[in-house]
Each structure stands twice: as C-alpha cells, then as structure tokens.
Amino acid sequence: MLTNVALKALKPNDKRYKKADSGGLFIFVEANGSKLWRFAYRHEGKAKLLSGGRYPQTTLAAARAWRDKMKHQLALGLDPSEERRKELAIAAVPAGSKFEEVAREWLEARLLSWVPKYASRIVTRLETDVFPAVGDKDIAEITPREMLDIFRKIQARGSFETAHRIKNYCSEVFRYAIPDGRCDSDPCRDLSPAMAKKKPVRHRSKIAAKDLPDFFVKFNADTGERLSHLALRWTIMTMVRTSETRFAEFEEFENMGGADPMWRISPERMKMRAEHLVPLSHQAVELFNEIWELNIYRQAGNMRLGRYLFPVPISKSLVISENRMLDIMYRLGLRGKATVHGFRGLASTVLNESGLFEPDWIEMQLAHQPQGVRGAYNSATYLKHRRPMLQWWADYLDAAEARGMAQGPLVMAGTPQR
C-alpha cells in the first residue's frame, strides 16, 4: 500500500509507470512528473478505468475515500463510470424539488457511510411505500397529513417498527432540503404521537450463566463438523457477531505469535462502519491455530477459499452459512430458547455483573457505538482494558466448561487491573 512519504518520493521516468495502492486504486506517474489517481474495476465482465484527480491536490486519504465510494456503487450493481456521467448531468441542471428527486440526492449523499445491504433496504422501503404516494409532489407542498397516511398504511400491515423507521428516513429527506430553500420545514417532525407505539424490543434469547456448564456438556457430545464447532466457539469467545466470524480472513490477524495477538476487522465488515479491534486471549490463539491447520485449501495454495477461516466451497458466499452455528444450537435442544447472537448478551451480563469492568469497555468490545459526542471514537479505545477483560471472559468460559465436564464448582479467580 502507498504512503504519503512514498508518494512524494515517486520520481518521473522516460515512460509513465504506475504504483498500486489497494482495492483497485493506483497512481500513474507521468514522464513530466504529474501524478494521477486511477481506479481499475470490472463491471458486467468488462475491465474499466476511472480517473480520480491529481496528487497532491487529491490526497491519499481523499483518493481512498473516492475508491470506497466507487466500490460501494459496484456492490449495489452500479457502474461508477455511468454514475459519474449522471452526476455531471445533474450538476448541469437546477436541483429537483420533487420529493423523489430530493430523496435520491439524499441517498447518494449518504451512500458512502452505509453498507450496500442497508442502503438497498432503505431504497426498497422508499420505493415501495413513499414514492408512489408523494414522489411526484413538490417537497415544499407535502403536508403532515399526507405523510401520516403513508405511515399508518404501513402500520396497518403490522409493521409498526418499519413505519417509524421510514418516518425517520423521510424526516431526514425533508431536513436535507431545508438549507437550500427547497422546503421550509419537516412535516414528519411531530407525527410520532399520532402513530402507534413501536413494539417493545425483544432481546435475543440467550443461555443463562448458570446453564453454561450444561451447555458445554451437550456441546462436547455433539457429533457435528469440527470446523462448525470451532466457528461457534470462536464467536462466543471473541464476542463478535456471526457475520464477523463467517467472513473472517487470515490477513486480518496480527502478532499471532507475539504477546499481543489482535484481530483487526475492517470498517467495511462492521455494522457501525468503523474498524473494530478484538484483542485475542491465549485460548483464542489456540483456536486460531487449530483453524489454520484444518484449512486444507490454504495448504493447497487455493487462496480463493484459503483466505477465509471458515471456507465452504459449495457456498455462493464461499464461507459457512448463517445457519451452520444455529443448527448446532438446535441439535442441543435450544431451538426457541437461545440463539448464537444471545452469547453477546450473556457476555455483557456476566462482565457487567462481575463488577470488574467499566460498561464503556464492554460496549466497545461489543462494537456498540455510543451516542452523541462519545460516538466519535477510534478503534483502539480502551484497548489496554479490553485485552485483560477478554482473557477473563475466556477463563470464565473454560471454568464453566470444566465444571460441566467434572461436575465440580465454578471458581473464577483473578482480577484485572484497571
């Protein structure tokens, strides 16, 4: 990957040459000394190239942000070259004032901060429930009553929480149009009291701490595939979401033979779009080593599959399915009683009730983004506290498993320093 120091050091040759950064981004160094950003990609089987400005006017950070935006468009099935042509066409005419036009501007402005799946969901909801009703209306003429009728129709289907979410999306669209004078107010602002209340949040079913020993007894007796067992153990021990386990890649791990092993999950793979660091206990390192040894694809040099910790060649995603770990739970008699995601709640409960760890450390490890000013954090926050906390959690799990297998008392010792 390129650095600012390396970019400044690039000197012209008789012929232009290129230096790659990552993800299709590279820079051309022209014979006259000009340095030009380019993004290489494939769309519908065709190789394409897109220009991204001149260095240093376009910085390395700006070029990477531009590349990420292009990759988001590709993930949504869009051609970045075509999208650029559309942007230039839109810039040549006055901004639209119809609700759908403004909404699509707002979507484009937010696209970079959303994962493709989430963005697609919002687009579908607006196209299904909102655009048919008010999409062709001037955004300044839409009344609170018109918007309330839309949301009540959604609630009539029993989709109470969806109605509130769509109200929030629409509210953002109206507020997006206020600064440039396309509308004067947000007609959704005062509608919540006139809408049915959201259904109470149902937390994922989870195993109680007292039942962990029995869980491990049944888990160890299960005859399922070893790699699936390792995936479940890994998810429980590292407190991550199932998707973060499923798509884990070996290149995300650092210092695995050293004193401070680390799993660095990229922003693109995280729900909150921020890098997440997972300090690894010595038990997690042992699991990692076993997972490495079981990866026959990596050993054979097949990096298409071998890059993943939990590869499955017959899967479209190339990794274990969402249900592989859940199937183990079902076989253990936990259908309707506990989910894989519920282990995150269990970890939170146990760590909070221990009295040894600050709530912020726990929330950070769960990758829950704080609200307000505290939401602006970096991935390393509380890292020196979270490392001993995760080791304590791994030891707690070991003690629970030992108790289950030996039917002895559960004794946890050791208090990490704050």
Name the residues annotated as catalytic. 241, 271, 341, 344, 368, 377
Work out the angle at residue 39's Cα, subtended by the Cα atoms of residues 34 and 44, and round it to the nearest 5 degrees.
150
Beta bridge partners of 47: 42
| Residues near 362 by beta carbon (within 8 Å), at least 6 away in sequence | 347, 348, 351, 352, 389
Burial of 84 (0-12, 13-18, 19+ CB in 10 A): middle
Q: Is 184 helix (H, G, I), strand (E, B) or coil?
A: coil
| Residues near 124 by beta carbon (within 8 Å), at least 6 away in sequence | none
Q: For residues 222 and 85, give the distance between their C-alpha atoms in angstroms, rounded to a whole number.
A: 57
Q: For residues 188 and 168, give the distance between their C-alpha atoms in angstroms, rounded to a whole number.
A: 8
Sign of CA dihedral 135, 137, 142, 146: negative
Tracing tokens 């994962």 back to the chain, one arrives at: 115
Sign of CA dihedral 68, 73, 77, 79: negative
Residue 107 identity (one-letter amino acid)? L
Most distant CA pair in the chain, distance: 77
Give me 213's structure tokens.
């020993």
> Cis bond leading into 56, ω under 30°?
yes
**Contact at 8 Å (CB) between 309 and 303?**
no
**Contact at 8 Å (CB) between 85 and 119?**
no
**Contact at 8 Å (CB) between 44 and 88?**
no
Work out the angle at residue 66's Cα, subtended by the Cα atoms of residues 60 and 69, and round it to the nearest 5 degrees.
145
Tracing tokens 């799946």 back to the chain, one arrives at: 117
In eight-state DSSP terms, residue 98 is B
- In terms of DSSP bridges, do strands 262-265 and 276-279 run parallel, antiparallel, or are they unpaired? antiparallel
Q: Please tell me the number of Cα atoms within 13 Å of 359 on its side-chain side.
A: 2
